[in-house]
Structure 1
Amino acid sequence: MTQPDETPAPEILPLGADGLLVRFSTRLDDAANRAVLGFADYLDEAMPEGVVEMSTTLSSAYLRFDPDRTDRTRLAARLKALLGQTDWLSLPEEAPKRRWHIPVVFGGEDGPQLADTAALLGMREERAVADLLAHPVRVLAIGFAPGQPYLGMLPERWDIPRLQEINPQVPAGALVVAVRQLIVFANASPTGWRQVGRSAFKPYRAGAAEPFPLLPGDVLQFAQVSAEEFDRIERGNADGFGGARLEITE
């Protein structure tokens, strides 16, 4: 799927009465997302005066400010100066600091649209699953539901369209795919993406000390398990990690 030429970036745009959006791209790609996360990490250490909230999206960073401490013009000028210090869109790809290994069952009732997805790729189901497992994905952003990750980017052959009709509901833990991205659903939800598998991993764990286990920039490596093994994992999933293992490399 081709994408239109984008506006030169990064741009600083007004958003609401007390916010600014730093947009690194009008389309999603790895370079833009690395820029977003790199800039956000930098601001964590050098937050401009008056900023009270920051969040990241697939290709933008949002900053909300306190009007009693700064104004839009001053904050925009400060952000422009910070943006000019680095070529954010040329940041190198770095080794992940956190890597998750997450069991997934593919196909059958837990992945009802795997066959359809494989057909779009011109692959057999087994080959499509192997291709997914061969490409670890990064948490690009958290959104839509509490803790829910958007994951990518998959190879260009995975640039498959969303469904023309909405899936009425996929279960919590559903692994869905579209437009070179994957999502692990935090809750049962309707979606226009194709469900190819399911994990027992809970991106949102209410009541836990850290309710959102995933962070932007984390890498997820999926591992295939049988339906029987998945049932065993799900029955023993008291901690909500669903058999997942976190490897910290820093």
Structure 2
Amino acid sequence: MNNLFDAKITPLGDSAVLIQLGTEINERTHRLIGALTKHIENHPFPGFIECVPAFTSLTVFYHPLKVHEQMKGSACNSPYEKVKAFMKKSLKEMTAEEETAKRTVEIPVCYGGSFGPDLEEVARINGLTPEEVIEIHTSGEYLVYMIGFAPGFPYLGGMSEKIAAPRRSSPRTSIPAGSVGIAGKQTGVYPLSTPGGWQLIGNTPLDLFRPYQQPPSLLKAGDIVTFVRVTEEEYDRLKEGES
């Protein structure tokens, strides 16, 4: 999508609009979504609730009745049309300067053993040693495209294809919180204990989802994540600090 005015705006139920800003997952589309999110949050319309970014789109939630209250004298026939008009105005007004500044978050990881039971399998698949997998994994910078699947779960981009690995043929019924895994060309961190089929290569002592804090998610879209290797002793010390 080369022009912001090509953005496709459609209703999502009776209290949200979906703004499609691209068709491919890439950093340019991600930056546009971040800039539009920031513009709307800085210039909210009456009835605005929140923005929810995804890989190639932005969903904007609103209170239909509060929007309707603002429609007196408007040419719009419905709350959706009123919000759509505001979205078009926002697309026209937003600037590159409103792009969200990137924040780098360092995530400590203890690799292998009981912390990463699939590390050797990932190495075998790629014809590498476990140490080489760790070196490649910790040398990258990963962009958080969005948060989803589970509370606080980051969808990361930027992993080297040298350590890509398919999902396990038999998913685990329970994966420990903090598990760092690989699935295909993606890497990610499980914030909560959930079922899953990713190849587990390590575990972080950090809590990615903190329900009693604001914001509850450690990471947000636009952040840059780096992984740093720690020993078991360092892991235990950091874990105690999180408790």
Distance, in Å, in 1 between the alignment partners of 2:215 and 2:32 is: 26
1:1-250 matches, cutoff 5 A: 10-68=7-65, 69-70=67-68, 71-84=79-92, 96=102, 98-157=103-162, 160-208=165-213, 210-234=215-239, 236-237=240-241, 239-240=242-243
Distance, in Å, in 1 between the alignment partners of 2:150 and 2:6 is: 28
Q: Where does the alignment leave 5 or more consecutive residues of structure 1 unmatched?
A: 1-7, 241-250
Distance, in Å, in 2 between the alignment partners of 1:64 and 1:174 is: 32
Distance, in Å, in 1 between the alignment partners of 2:6 and 2:174 is: 37
Structure 1-normalised TM-score? 0.78
Which structure's residues are more often helix, by fraction?
A: 2
Q: Structure 2 counterpart of 1:182, which letter? A: T
Distance, in Å, in 2 between the alignment partners of 1:99 and 1:216 is: 11
Distance, in Å, in 2 between the alignment partners of 1:160 and 1:31 is: 26
Identity rate, percent:
28
CA apart distance, 1:107: 1.2
Q: Structure 2 counterpart of 1:191, which letter? A: G
Q: Structure 2 counterpart of 1:200, which letter? A: P
In structure 2, the CA distance between the partners of 1:41 and 1:158, relative to structure 1 (3 Å rule), is: farther
In structure 2, the CA distance between the partners of 1:13 and 1:198, relative to structure 1 (3 Å rule), is: same
Distance, in Å, in 1 between the alignment partners of 2:165 and 2:21 is: 24
Deviations 1:184-240 (A, max 9, x none): 211111112211110011012243455333222222221111233323332x23x35
RMSD: 2.8
Question: Do 2:126 and 2:164's aligned partners in 1 also have CA atoms closer than 8 Å?
Answer: no
- SS of the aligned residue for 2:36 comes to helix
Q: Where does the alignment leave 5 or more consecutive residues of structure 2 unmatched?
A: 69-78
- SS of the aligned residue for 2:64 comes to coil
